[in-house]
Chain A
Amino acid sequence: NAGVTQTPKFQVLKTGQSMTLQCAQDMNHEYMSWYRQDPGMGLRLIHYSVGAGITDQGEVPNGYNVSRSTTEDFPLRLLSAAPSQTSVYFCASSPPGQGGETAFFGQGTRLTVV
Chain B
Amino acid sequence: GESVGLHLPTLSVQEGDNSIINCAYSNSASDYFIWYKQESGKGPQFIIDIRSNMDKRQGQRVTVLLNKTVKHLSLQIAATQPGDSAVYFCAEMPLAAGNKLTFGGGTRVLVKP
- Give the interface of A toward B (CB within 8 A): 4, 31, 33, 35, 40-45, 48-50, 56, 58-59, 90, 92, 94, 96-101, 103, 105-108
Q: Are B44 and A43 in contact (CB under 8 A)?
A: yes
Q: Give the A-B pair count, Cβ closer than 8 A.
A: 74
**Residue B112, interface by CB 8 Å:** no
**Residue B91, interface by CB 8 Å:** yes
Q: Are B43 and A106 in contact (CB under 8 A)?
A: yes
A40-B105, A43-B89, A99-B51 known; A48-B100 Cβ under 8 A: yes
Q: Are B104 and A59 in contact (CB under 8 A)?
A: no
- Give 5 nearest A-B pairs by CB, closest first: A42-B103, A100-B34, A105-B43, A100-B49, A48-B98
**Residue B97, interface by CB 8 Å:** yes
- Give the interface of B toward A (CB within 8 A): 1, 4, 32, 34, 41-46, 49, 51, 89, 91, 93, 95, 97-106
Q: Are B99 and A107 in contact (CB under 8 A)?
A: no
CA distance A97 to B49 in the complex (A): 14
Chain B residues with CB under 8 A of A4 = 43
Q: Are B106 and A31 in contact (CB under 8 A)?
A: no
A99-B51, A106-B43 known; A41-B95 Cβ under 8 A: no
Q: Are B95 and A96 in contact (CB under 8 A)?
A: yes
Q: Are B43 and A101 in contact (CB under 8 A)?
A: no
New A-B contacts (6) at CB < 8 Å, excluding given A31-B98, A96-B95? A42-B91, A43-B91, A90-B44, A94-B99, A99-B93, A100-B34
Choice from B34, B97, B98, B103 contacting A44 with Cβ under 8 Å: B103
Chain A residues with CB under 8 A of B4 = 42
A100-B32, A100-B34 known; A31-B101 Cβ under 8 A: no
Q: Are B91 and A107 in contact (CB under 8 A)?
A: no
A42-B104, A42-B105, A43-B89 known; A96-B99 Cβ under 8 A: yes
Q: Are B43 and A56 in contact (CB under 8 A)?
A: no
Choice from A44, A48, A98, A107 contacting B43 with Cβ under 8 Å: A107
A41-B106, A99-B49 known; A31-B99 Cβ under 8 A: yes
